Chain A
Amino acid sequence: MVNQKLVGFEVKRIRADFPILDRETQPGIPVIYLDSTASSQKPIAVIEAMNVFYRRSNANIHRGVHTLAEEATALYEEAREKIAKFINAPAAKQLIYTRNTTESINLVAHTWARANLKSGDMVILTEMEHHSNLVPWQMLKSERGIRLEFITVTEEGLLDLDSYRSLLDQNPKLVSFTHMSNVLGTINPAEEIIRLAHEHGAVTLVDGAQSVPHFGVDVQKLDVDFLAFSAHKMVGPTGIGILYGKQDLLENMPPFLGGGDMIKSVHLQEFVANELPYKFEAGTPAIAEAVGFGAAVDYLTSVGMDAIAAHEHEITEYALERLEEVPGLNVFGPNSQDKGGVAAFTFDDLHPHDIAQILDRDGIAVRAGHHCAQPLHEKFGVRATTRASFYLYNTKEEVDKLIEGLYKVKEVFN
Chain B
Amino acid sequence: MDDLYREQIIERYKEPHYRGHLDPNDIQFEDDNPLCGDHIEITLRVDKDDKVVEAAFDGHGCAISQSSADLLVESIHGKALDEIKSMNKDAVLDLLGIELGHVRLKCALLSLKVLKAGVYGLGEANDDLVA
Contacts and interface: CB of A to CB of B under 8 A. Distances in A.
Contacts of A344: none
Contact of A361 (B2, B35, B38, B104): B2
B131 to A, nearest CB: 22
Interface string B1-34: 1101100001001100000000000000000000
Contacts of B37: 370, 383-384
Contact of A354 (B1, B2, B60, B63): B63
B62 A351 contact: yes
Nearest to B37: A383
Contact of B36 (A353, A361, A412, A413): A353
Contacts of B115: none
Contacts of B38: 351
Interface residues of B, number: 18
A369 B36 contact: yes
A412 B5 contact: yes
A368 interface: yes
How extensive is the interface on chain A, given as a class? 10 to 19
Given A369-B36, A384-B37, A413-B14, A351 B2 contact: no
Interface string B46-74: 00000000000000111110000000000
A354 B1 CA distance: 14
Given A351-B63, A412-B10, A357 B35 contact: no
Contacts of A351: 36, 38, 61-63
Contact of B104 (A357, A369, A412): A357
Nearest to B35: A369
A383 B37 CA distance: 6
Given A369-B35, A383-B37, A412-B10, A353 B62 contact: yes
Contacts of A354: 5, 62-64
Contacts of B10: 412-413
Nearest to B32: A383
Contact of A357 (B1, B4, B13, B14): B4
8 contacts: A353-B63, A357-B62, A357-B104, A358-B5, A369-B35, A383-B36, A384-B36, A384-B37
Interface of A: 351-354, 357-358, 361, 368-370, 383-384, 412-413
Given A351-B62, A369-B36, A383-B60, 14 more contacts: A351-B38, A352-B36, A353-B36, A353-B63, A353-B64, A354-B64, A357-B62, A358-B5, A368-B36, A370-B37, A383-B37, A384-B36, A384-B37, A413-B13
Top 8 closest pairs, chain A to chain B, by CB? A351-B62, A353-B62, A383-B37, A354-B63, A354-B62, A412-B5, A369-B36, A384-B36
